[in-house]
Every structure is written in structure tokens, then in C-alpha cells.
Amino acid sequence: MNMKVITLLTDFGLDDFYVSSIKGILLKYEKNLNIIDITHNISPFDIKKGAFILYSTYKTFPKETIHFAIVDPGVGTFRDFLYMEKEGYHFFAPDNGILTFIYEEYCPLFKIIFPDIWIKEASFTFHGRDLFAPAVGKFLKGEHIEMVPKPNPVLFEYKKPHKNKKGEVKGSIIYIDRFGNCISNIPYEMVKFGKGKIIIKGKEIALWVTSYKEIPEGKIGILKGSISTLELAQNMSSLSNFLNINFGDEVIYTPI
């Protein structure tokens, strides 16, 4: 029998009992399970960072993988828990925007209805263990989960890439990694690589490279990142600190 694959993505860290408790509940329902930790080091409450990491990793797993994400600042409040299917992948997550980069209107999306007894006995501070994980466990086991269609999920706002008639593309920074590299949402295919400039925070950048090592000390380079969008970086230095770049900052590509 093939082991079912499920990934976990949380902001729990590894110093507490939270991650192991989630895994324990899942294994109670399905022992033949391969649990993969995407990360538990999301900055506390950082839904946007969690959304990007989930988006950038989910397709690297085999089809039918279940992705279970818990970055849940609203724990203990009345927010929905969602199930979504996309392209053969299954997603479970609270309705707080963490599915923003993955969700498409054509995706089947549902709100989980928890049994009253679960709600009555659940801790107000650990819905991930007492409500979310049992629902995912029942799905793993092939048992019925009560759910209803969810038409309007919570999605956070960000500037999506747009190309005008002059070939200028406007997008935004959607992720800053631990090295300070700034990843935009402008697809590589929307620009002419090596022919143009990037403007961000009022600074013009026109150095196009294929690796970080090609960037001279103190300079800023433009390169094709690992998710095939334009990335801005410095060599062995944090560009985000250098220019005080944050999530959502506008990025403009201007052709030459």
C-alpha cells in the first residue's frame, strides 16, 4: 500500500508541543502516512509569508498530496476552515488569506462544518489540534466530512502584474527571503531579459545577471528567480535592508 503524503506548514516553531500534537492526531486517523514538514518557522502570524511558501512549494510534491497549513492569528474566533482542490492537490487551511496565491475561481472550495461535540470540547487556543487536524484526519481515512460551498474566501490585496501598450510592467514584491533577496510577481516571460530597467523605491536598476555571484559588491542585480519571476538581489548582502523594501512595494519594469 502506498503511503499517503501530507505536508505541514505552520508558524509554531519547534520549541513547543504544537507540531507533534498535530502529527499525533493525524496518525491516530491514518498510520500509513508520510508527513513532510514544509516549514514551521514562518514568522508568528505572518499569513503573507505562509501564503507565498505554500504557493512556491505545493507543485513540487506528487499529485494527491494533502497540504495542511496553519498560520492562524484568529485562533479561538469564528473564522472558517477550508478545503480546496486544485490540479490534483488538496488544501486545508483557515480562511484568512493563506490561500491567496493558490486560489482560482474555478477551484472547488468548501467550508468545513465541525461536529458540535468537537466544538464543545475544543480548546479556544488550539483549534489546529482539536478541530482542524481531526477534519484532515477523517479526509485521510476516507471518512465523510460535512462541508458546504464557500463562494468568497478571504484574500489579501497585492498589486498583480500588468503590462501596458508600451511594454512597461508593474508588479510588486511578494516575498523577501532570509538573505534579503526580493522576489517580485513579474513573470520572467513578461519582460525582455537584459533589455530594460527596474525601478523600486525610486531607484533604477539595470544590471541583469544569471547568478548572485555576478553582482559586484555594493551593486544590485536583476535575475530570474527560482519561481520564474524577476528577483532583485545583492551579492552576500541584504537588499531588503539596504533599500528598506517590504512586501507589496511596487516594482516597475521599463523596456529600453
Q: What is the mean pLDDT of the chain?
A: 95
Q: Which residue ranges form the domains of the chain, and what is each CATH number?
A: 4-149 (3.40.50.10790), 162-255 (2.40.30.90)
Helices (H), the chain: 18-29, 47-57, 116-121, 127, 133-141, 239-243
Q: What is the mean pLDDT of residues 34-41?
A: 98
Per residue in 113-127, pLDDT tens? 999 988 889 898 899
Cβ atoms within 10 Å, residue 206: 15
| Confidence (pLDDT) at 159 | 87
Residue that is written with C-alpha cell 539596504 in the block: 242
DSSP 78-143: S--EEEEEETTEEEEEESSSTTTTT--TTS-EEEE---HHHHHHS-TT-HIIIIIHHHHHHHHHT-
- Whether pLDDT at 78 is above 80: no
Let me know the angle formed at the C-alpha of 47 by 226 and 59, rounded to the nearest 5 degrees: 35
| Confidence (pLDDT) at 256 | 84
